Structure 1
Amino acid sequence: MDVFEAIDHLTQAGPASVYLLYGSEIGLFDWFCDELARNQPDGPSVLRFDYQEDGFEPAELELCSFSLLGDKPLVYVRNATAFTPDGRSGPDAERLAAYLEQPVAGRTLVLSVPADKLDERRRVTKLAKRHAVIACPVPSRDRDAMLRLERLARSKGVVIAKDALAELWRRTKSLTRSMNEFAKLQAYAGENPIARDHVLELVPVQAEDSVFAWIDWAVQGHVGSVFEGLEGLARQGYDPFALIALLARQVRLMAFARGATNLEQRAKELGVHPYALRTAARQATRFSERNLAKLVRVLADAEWDVKRGRLAPEVALNLALMELACAASTTAHNRAQ
């Protein structure tokens, strides 16, 4: 069961006694607690504890205590490392296990673990599986991510255009990071819906994603985007010589991928991920074998000239980029003819 299915289930049945949430999307943990409280009568408050700092005893005392006013706050214990292989055991884990074996009726305990897997060998994990265990992974498909982001935006009262939401996901690749950007984007948009331009202005691209996009622009001959992106890459710590090396590696992969009948086998031979070689094969269709061979030499010479002190790294990079752009545009022109 995922976190959204768990919230939907509340309309058909009441809240469970215990929820255990785990995964990389830690922003969903707090969102789940807020939605759980909002969907209950009278909207109970949420009492938050940290297992690493407090152990389980304060949360247990709250769960076992009854208010004269009849309040039944939701008890949320984050960082419940008792469920992970390297988490602490001892009295706190035993106390938690005893509670999971016989939770207090009419009260709700939410536990969260910022880990992709639970330690199935632990007694507390086996006891937790008697209750509601909810996975919160990063969505593997863009379509699923968009549906989840739309729902999260609605629940937070965020009005955002679909193309802006798609751009937000492209830049963050995380529901948690996207939710963290909502408040900033809302404040910037004012009373207007959040537009794609707002996302482009305010939300930075993740470093590892931006360099891959930049390399793709370079081998496709998108000169304007390539040179505009250089400043951003410099702020992320990429120097011109490192970019030359990354371009050289990609062009070599393109040369290896072009004409390969079995990309999976070729990837094993080269010791690279099959996805990287498939991407290189797609990029290589823009170039003839002759142009690819020339580009391999150009980039090798650029690295050599920088190492020998013949060219400054910035100059060598600019010359290599112009050779790439020329080769890409020449191939596209030939195809058009």
Structure 2
Amino acid sequence: MDIFDAVDHATRTGPASVYLLHGSEIGLFDWFCDELVRNHLASSILRFDYQEDGFEPAELELCSYSLFGERPLVYVRNVAAFVPEGRSGPDADRLAAYLERPVPERTLVLSVPSDKLDERRRVTKLAKRHAVVACPVPTRDRDAMAKLERLARSKSVEMEPEALAELWRRTGSLTLAMNEFDKLRAYADGHPIARDHVRELVPMQAEDSVFTWIDEVVQGKVAAVFEALDGLFRQGYDAFSLIALLARQIRLMAFAKGAADLERRAKELGVHPYALRTAARHAARFPERQLERLVRVLADAEWDVKRGRLAPEVALHLALMELAHASTLERKRAQ
């Protein structure tokens, strides 16, 4: 069951006695509990951590009735009893006994930060009698955008469609995107959040930012390339590693140049086909002799750093200027 469907179903028919939430999008766990309270399906939330508290304190709350008629939701996070590395023991036995006979009119939410559950365990089999909700990271952009829009709306965050797309591109996770909502809303100061707000406040993930940077290097975007260097250094990349990454990309461009079957060539090189297709697209802008020269430039830069002839930062800057010059030269020839 999808977590959004679970909220909608609970709103229509009332909450189930037990929910088991599991997956990598751990931010959705708290969102789910908050939504049940927001929709008046629970009066408040009592939170416990299975790793620290076990299950007994949560069970005591579930079995206790309020004189004031309140119906708090009992939320137990990090329930290791459902994963292979989790230990069995009294707490797991106590949880299994509760899952067999949950208290009517009360709601227990269990969460496991894992995409897979141990199907062999008794507690897992018992939990499957109730509502099991998977919370994986969306694999398709269309699904991610629909879910992100729903999350923003539930938190009264107004975002333009382009801003949502940019936020997803920079985070790649619903949990990470939700963590940015408050900051973006405050920065927008009462106005709808725009794409520029996201670009200014939300850093790109390290892998995405270095990929974008390499893309700008081979396109000859000199100003953007040098402006992005400080950000890459703050993310943990050093000058020598960036030289190595550039060298790899230029070699891929040389291998992709003129290749009749990119899928086959990718298999021969042991790289992902998408990476080689991207390299082929970039290589189309350079003649073969120019690519050979750039391969030598970067190989010389690596060699000079290893021999101590140049500081890594100096070697990187010289290599970038060579690449920018080559790209600019080919752009002028094309015109």
TM-score (norm 1): 0.94
SS of alignment partner, residue 68 of structure 2: coil
Q: Distance in 2 between matches of 1:216 and 1:275?
A: 14
What is residue 242 of structure 1 aligned with on the other side? 241
Provide Cα deviations, 1:115-134, integer angstroms capped at 9, x if missing partner.
Answer: 12111111111111111111
Q: 2-side partners of 1:190 and 1:219: how far apart?
A: 38
Deviation at 1:37, TM superposition (A): 2.1
C-alpha displacement of 1:245: 0.9
Q: How far has the Cα of 1:310 moved from its partner?
A: 2.9
CA distance in 2 between counterparts of 1:101 and 1:289 reads 69
CA distance in 2: counterparts of 1:283 and 1:83, whole angstroms: 47
Q: Which range is displaced more, 79-88 or 162-171?
A: 162-171
| CA deviation after TM superposition for structure 1 residue 143, in Å | 2.0
Q: Distance in 2 between matches of 1:199 and 1:218?
A: 23
Check the 8 A contact 1:260/1:266 in 2, yes or no.
yes
1:169-224 deviations in whole A, cap 9, x for unaligned? Answer: 22211111111111112222222222223222222222222111111111122212
Asked if 2 retains the 8 angstrom alpha-carbon contact of 1:22 and 1:114, the reply is yes
The residue type equivalent to 1:199 in the other structure is V
Aligned-pair identity (%): 76
Per-residue deviation, residues 78-110 of structure 1 (Å, max 9, x unmatched):
001111110121111111111112211211111
CA distance in 1, matches of 2:311, 2:158: 48
Q: Tell me the distance in 2 between the aligned counterparts of 1:132 and 1:262.
A: 48
Say which SS state the counterpart of residue 205 (structure 1) adopts. coil
| 1:136-192 superposed Cα distances (whole Å, 9 cap, x missing partner) | 111112222221111111111112222222222222111111111111122222222
The separation in 2 between residues aligned to 1:96 and 1:87, in whole angstroms, is 13
Q: For each residue in 1:49-101, what CA deviation from the matched residue of structure 2 results, as whole angstroms up to 9, or x when unmatched?
A: 11001111111111112122222211111001111110121111111111112
Alignment of 1:219-234 (within 5 A): 219-234=218-233
Match of 1:14 in 2: 14
Q: Distance in 1 between matches of 2:252 and 2:327?
A: 16
- SS at 2:309's partner residue? coil
For 1:105-144, what aligned pairs fall within 5 Å after superposition? 105-144=104-143
Retained in 2: the 8 A contact 1:82–1:93? yes
Q: Report the equivalent of 1:61.
A: 60
Match of 1:5 in 2: 5
Q: Secondary structure at the match of 2:117?
A: coil
Pair 1:208 & 2:231 matched: no
Q: 2-side partners of 1:158 and 1:81: how far apart?
A: 34
**What is the distance in 2 between the residues matched to 1:282 and 1:133?**
45
Answer yes or no: is 1:311 the counterpart of 2:305.
no
The match for 1:299 is 298
**Residue 45 of structure 1 pairs with residue 82 of structure 2:** no
Distance 1:124 1:13 in 2: 26
Report 1:80-91 matches (<5 A): 80-91=79-90
Partner of 2:25: 25
| CA shift for structure 1 position 280 | 2.0
| Structure 1 segment 223-302 matched on structure 2, within 5 A | 223-302=222-301
Instruction: Please identify, of 307-316 and 290-299, the stretch whose mean Cα deviation from structure 2 is larger.
Output: 307-316
CA distance, structure 1, for counterparts of residue 189 and residue 241 of structure 2: 41
Aligned to 1:191: 190
What is the CA–CA distance in structure 2 between the aligned matches of 1:256 and 1:328, rounded to whole Å?
18
In the TM superposition, what is the alpha-carbon distance from 1:275 to its structure 2 partner? 3.0
In 2, are the aligned partners of 1:10 and 1:39 still within 8 Å (CA)? no
Summarize deviations over 1:216-241 as a string: whole Å, max 9, x none.
11112221211110111122222222
**Which 10-residue stretch deviates more, 274-283 or 77-86?**
274-283
Q: Give the Å deviation of 1:267.
A: 2.5
Q: Structure 1: which 5+ residue stretches go unaligned?
A: none
Tell me the secondary structure at the aligned position of residue 85 of structure 2. Answer: coil
* Structure 2 partner of 1:155: 154
Conserved in 2, the CA contact under 8 Å of 1:245 and 1:303? Answer: yes
